[in-house]
Every structure is written in structure tokens, then in C-alpha cells.
């Protein structure tokens, strides 16, 4: 069995409808899972991570696990602080003054960008505020922002805030594309809303619930044909799927680094700006957006960097960036294409097992079956989802719950084994057979 083999598309027999790609020779046995692990070219990276014995972690699309290299790079920055004090900004292996740019260079291949088009800093929502403040230029007749009704709520809050800052009513000026089924978005529906009133479009690359990949290339082309700026929230895609932001001529993008990139809780976020916009003044200027040679001149005239660095605001959070250096080193070695191949194989294997083992228990797969539309996680829908997630945790399997009825399972290419995917489905079957979920309230916890 080869990793590059073409996959055949067939109709699924599981509850619900959609296309499913069958991997030849699939068997719902532990021995088959072990065989897949033996063939895995990325298996050595599993040893790079801190894995708790007896626990299966399936929540890497919310918070990735700690790697030994991330720990090492964090400790190196602490050591530099200890050794150099303030001179750590210019001394050491990775001087802090250039750290955001260095991490941007390492991240650029993951999003298909030039090195100077990516910068690390801020948070996802802070970066969206920066980009919306920069690219949203309302004028008479063109003063609306287009988003969607399935996107992560924080994005909507930020866009509503930006509209209010311009004296515009969000209820009238924020257009949210409707989903036909509450799970997926249709590109045709998005394009239909791209009218002459739209000044800016902000969409997710991958829907955080269903895991659907949006056709970024097509939507960018259609937006630009209508004179509309377009940017993407790539939180659920960077580190899981390849991107070609430059080739697609995407105007901007932003993302967090604590999910698939395993940068740690509160890790700084990423920001991409296409080079054609480098002369554009940042909507929210700050001293770290200055040209490096001018920053400490302390002038009251802002001389912006001729790079994505211009869109930084405040001093970088060094200790919240440091773990990302070690993590990105692994992605540079493994290559995002290999990561994507294994990710697809893991999620396909998970769906095949669900179809084989869990039919008749009331589950429905709520993620795209076709690989071109499927991101790095799988949604399993069930009326008792909140209770089932609690039962899974009691069995030392860590899932993620999303309202109203969704179990998110994210097997991560660098550290999840096929045998762990197999065991997860077997435990799900055990929970359903024994009705173990009935021991819990069908209600989410404070953090789902």
C-alpha cells in the first residue's frame, strides 16, 4: 500500500449522504491499524511530542500538544533572558528584535507566501482588527462587509466593531451568507452576495465546525473581478493543509498558531499581507510596525516597514512566540504536503471505521467526504453529543464538543497514530453499547 495511491470515490452507507473515498484493502481490525502505522513516513515525529500514557488526544484542532523542540526553544529564550537581559533583543541565536520576522519566514511556505509577506505577533482577533481597519474603506454606495453565518463568533464581533467605528449599523452593513444545511457553505451562494455594496470580504479557509475547505482561489478571483478586497481566517487550516495565498492573489489572511502548529496556549498569531499592499498605511499603527532602522529613532513620524512587519502593533510577546520556533522546524523538515497526505489518510480511516463500526447508533458524519473539501478534523453528530464527549474523557480520550450536537475529532499528522484512531472508535462503540453516556448531563462544560 503506497501513500500516493489514488483514492476511489464511492457512496457512503452511513446515515446521511455524501461521497466517501475508499482506501483499498480497508479492514476494521487493530492489525490493519498497526500496518498503517508501520508504513507511516512521519511516524518518527510522534516521539517528538509529550504524549500522556493511556490517553488518546483527539483535540489538536483546538490546542496542539507540546513537543520537545517547542519546549527547547522556549527554554532557550528564557536562557537568553537570564544571560543577556535587555541585550537579548540583539544577542543570542535568535535575537528577539527580529524574532517575529524569523518566524514569519519559517511560516511562509505553509501559506504559499514570500518570506516578507508573513509576520508573527498579536492574537487572531487583534490581527483581524488590524486588517479590517486597514482594508475596509467604506464610501457611499460601497460600505458593507461580507462574511458568513458559520464562521467563528470572534470574527463577527470584530467586524461588527469595525463597522460601528465607521458609524455604520452592523445589522444593515454586515452581510452574512446563509448556509443551506447549517453545516456547509456553497461558493455560489457567497459569490451571489458579492454585489456593488460590498467593500470587504472576510471568510474562513476551513469551517471550524464541519471542517469544510472553502475554495479560496475561486472566491478571491470572483471578489477581485468585482473590485472587492478579500481576506481569510486560516485558524483551522494553517499546519493542516497547503495554501497558495500568493498564487491566488489573496489580499490578506490571519491565523492562530496553537492548533495544528502546536505553538502552545496563548501563542502569538500569524498575519499575511500580499506584497502589492505594502505601501498601504496600517489602520492601527504601532512602533513595532516601524522600519527596523527607524524604530528606536523615537520620531513622532511613523516610517512603516516595507513588509508585513508594518502591520505589527506592539512589542512581540517573546515567551509566547518561542515554542513556535521548535514546532516550525518540524514542519520545515516534514513538509506540509506530507503532513496533508497523512492527515487525509487519518481522517479517511476514521470515517471508514465510523461507517464500519458505528452504523445504527445514531451518528452522522458532518464533514465533507471528498478530500478536496475536507480539512484536518471530522465532525460526528449525535443528539447526545455533549454526554458522549464526557464519557470519552472518562475513558481517557480527549475530543472536542461544539454546539448543538457535534463531536470534533482531530487526528493530527505529526503525533496521532492509526492505532489511536482505531481505539477511539472502539471506545465510542463501548460507550454506546453500554449506554455509558447516560451517566452524564447532555450539557456542555464551561470550555466545551
Class of domain 8-66+335-439: alpha beta
State how far the Cα of 88 lies from the Cα of 391, in Å rounded to an integer.
47
State how far the Cα of 12 lies from the Cα of 15, in Å rounded to an integer.
8
Beta strand residue intervals within 136-294, DSSP E? 144-148, 174-177, 198-204, 229-233, 252-255, 270-273
The CA distances from residue 77 to 93, 257, 271, 319, 396, in Å, are 9, 18, 22, 7, 33
Cβ neighbour number for residue 253 with a 10 Å cutoff: 29
Q: What pLDDT sits at residue 443? A: 84
Beta strand residue intervals within 241-354, DSSP E? 252-255, 270-273
pLDDT in tens, 348-380: 999 999 999 999 999 999 999 999 999 999 999
Question: Which residues of the chain, if any, have pLDDT below 70?
Answer: 1-24, 448
Assign 57 to helix, strand or coil. Answer: strand
**Burial (CB count within 10 angstroms: exposed 0-12, middle 13-18, buried 19+), residue 220:** buried
Residue 287, marked binder: yes
Q: What pLDDT sits at residue 24? A: 58
Residue 205 C-alpha from the chain's centroid: 8
State how far the Cα of 246 lies from the Cα of 114, in Å rounded to an integer.
8
User: Selecting from 3.30.930.10, 3.40.640.10, 3.40.50.300, 3.20.20.370, what CATH number does the domain 94-333 have?
Assistant: 3.40.640.10
Beta strand residue intervals within 178-257, DSSP E? 198-204, 229-233, 252-255
H or E element in which residue 406 lies: strand 406-409
Do the two domains 8-66+335-439 and 94-333 of this chain adopt the same fold?
no
State how far the Cα of 56 lies from the Cα of 417, in Å rounded to an integer.
9
Identify which of 11, 12, 14 has the alpha carbon closest to the alpha carbon of residue 382: 14
Q: What pLDDT sits at residue 352? A: 97
State how far the Cα of 429 lies from the Cα of 132, in Å rounded to an integer.
46
Burial 77-116, CB ≥16 within 10 A → b, else e: beebeeeeeeebbeebebebbbbbbbbbbbbbbbbbbbeb
State how far the Cα of 239 lies from the Cα of 206, in Å rounded to an integer.
12
Residue 173, marked binder: no
- Please name the residue that has the C-alpha cell 489511536: 420
Q: What pLDDT sits at residue 19? A: 37
Q: What pLDDT sits at residue 25? A: 83
Helix intervals (H) in 85-212:
99-111, 124-135, 153-165, 170-173, 187-192
Q: Evaluate whether 252 touches 277 at the Cβ level (below 8 Å).
A: yes
Residue 258, marked binder: yes
State how far the Cα of 146 lies from the Cα of 173, in Å rounded to an integer.
8
pLDDT in tens, 167-203: 999 999 999 999 999 999 999 999 999 999 999 999 9
Q: Quick one: DSSP state of residue 424?
A: H
Cβ neighbour number for residue 207 with a 10 Å cutoff: 24
Residue 129, marked binder: no
Q: What pLDDT sits at residue 442? A: 85
Helix intervals (H) in 20-169:
30-39, 68-84, 99-111, 124-135, 153-165
Q: What pLDDT sits at residue 13? A: 29
Residue 233, marked binder: yes
Q: What pLDDT sits at residue 447? A: 72
Identify which of 17, 20, 22 has the alpha carbon closest to the alpha carbon of residue 6: 22
Residue 125, marked binder: yes
Q: Quick one: DSSP state of residue 150?
A: T
Q: Evaluate whether 133 touches 163 at the Cβ level (below 8 Å).
A: no
pLDDT in tens, 382-424: 999 999 999 999 999 999 999 999 999 999 999 999 999 999 9
- CB neighbours of 366 closer than 8 A, spacing ≥ 6? 16, 183, 209, 210, 379, 380, 381, 406
* Average pLDDT, rounded, for the chain: 93
The CA distances from residue 31 to 292, 295, 302, 329, 418, in Å, are 57, 60, 63, 32, 10
Q: Where are the domains of the chain?
A: 8-66+335-439, 94-333
Residue 347, marked binder: no
- The pLDDT > 90 percentage for the chain reads 92
Q: Evaluate whether 242 touches 336 at the Cβ level (below 8 Å).
A: yes
Q: What pLDDT sits at residue 448? A: 67
State how far the Cα of 379 lies from the Cα of 440, in Å rounded to an integer.
21
State how far the Cα of 322 lies from the Cα of 330, in Å rounded to an integer.
14
Residue 236, marked binder: yes
State how far the Cα of 421 lies from the Cα of 305, in Å rounded to an integer.
46
25 φ/ψ sector (left φ>0, alpha ψ -120 to 50, else beta): left
Residue 404, marked binder: no
Amino acid at each position: 500500500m503506497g501513500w500516493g495511491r489514488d483514492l476511489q470515490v464511492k457512496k457512503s452507507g452511513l446515515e446521511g449522504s455524501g461521497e466517501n473515498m475508499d482506501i483499498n484493502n480497508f479492514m476494521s481490525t487493530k492489525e490493519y491499524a498497526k500496518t498503517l502505522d508501520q508504513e507511516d513516513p512521519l511516524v518518527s515525529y510522534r516521539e517528538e511530542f509529550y504524549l500522556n500514557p493511556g490517553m488518546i488526544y483527539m483535540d489538536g484542532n483546538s490546542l496542539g500538544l507540546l513537543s520537545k523542540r517547542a519546549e527547547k526553544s522556549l527554554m532557550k529564550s528564557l536562557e537568553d533572558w537570564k544571560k543577556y537581559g535587555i541585550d537579548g533583543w540583539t544577542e543570542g541565536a535568535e535575537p528577539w528584535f527580529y524574532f517575529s520576522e524569523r518566524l514569519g519566514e519559517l511560516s511562509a511556505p505553509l501559506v504559499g507566501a514570500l518570506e516578507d509577506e508573513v509576520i508573527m505577533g498579536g492574537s487572531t482577533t487583534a490581527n483581524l482588527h488590524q486588517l479590517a481597519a486597514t482594508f475596509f474603506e467604506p464610501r457611499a454606495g460601497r460600505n458593507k462587509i461580507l462574511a458568513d453565518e458559520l464562521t467563528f463568533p470572534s470574527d463577527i464581533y470584530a467586524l461588527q466593531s469595525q463597522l460601528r467605528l465607521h458609524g455604520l449599523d452592523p445589522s444593515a452593513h454586515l452581510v452574512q451568507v446563509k448556509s443551506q444545511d447549517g453545516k456547509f457553505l456553497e461558493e455560489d451562494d457567497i459569490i451571489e452576495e458579492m454585489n456593488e455594496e460590498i467593500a470587504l470580504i472576510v471568510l474562513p479557509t476551513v469551517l471550524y465546525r464541519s471542517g469544510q475547505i472553502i475554495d479560496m482561489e475561486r472566491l478571491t478571483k470572483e471578489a477581485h473581478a468585482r473590485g472587492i478586497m478579500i481576506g481569510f481566517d486560516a485558524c483551522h487550516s494553517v499546519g493542516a493543509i497547503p495554501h497558495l495565498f500568493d498564487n491566488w492573489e489573496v489580499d490578506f489572511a490571519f491565523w492562530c498558531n496553537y492548533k495544528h502548529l502546536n505553538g502552545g496556549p496563548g501563542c502569538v498569531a500569524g498575519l499575511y499581507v500580499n506584497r502589492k499592499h505594502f505601501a498601504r498605511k496600517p489602520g492601527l499603527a504601532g512602533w513595532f510596525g516601524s522600519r527596523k532602522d527607524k524604530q528606536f529613532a523615537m520620531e513622532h513620524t511613523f516610517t512603516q516597514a516595507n513588509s508585513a512587519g508594518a502591520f505589527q502593533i506592539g512589542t512581540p510577546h517573546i515567551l509566547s512566540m518561542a515554542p513556535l520556533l521548535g514546532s516550525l522546524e518540524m514542519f520545515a523538515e516534514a513538509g506540509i504536503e506530507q503532513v496533508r497526505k497523512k492527515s487525509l489518510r487519518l481522517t479517511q480511516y476514521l470515517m471508514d471505521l465510523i461507517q464500519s463500526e458505528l452504523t445504527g447508533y445514531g451518528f452522522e458524519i458532518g464533514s465533507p467526504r471528498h478530500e478536496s473539501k475536507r480539512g484536518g478534523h471530522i465532525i460526528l453528530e449525535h443528539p447526545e453529543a455533549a454526554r458522549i464527549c464526557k464519557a470519552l474523557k472518562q475513558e481517557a480520550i480527549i475530543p472536542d464538543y461544539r454546539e448543538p450536537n457535534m463531536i470534533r475529532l482531530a487526528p493530527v499528522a505529526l503525533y496521532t497514530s492509526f492505532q489511536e484512531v482505531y481505539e477511539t472508535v472502539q471506545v465510542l462503540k463501548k460507550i454506546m453499547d453500554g449506554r455509558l453516556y447516560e451517566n452524564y448531563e447532555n450539557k456542555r462544560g464551561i470550555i466545551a
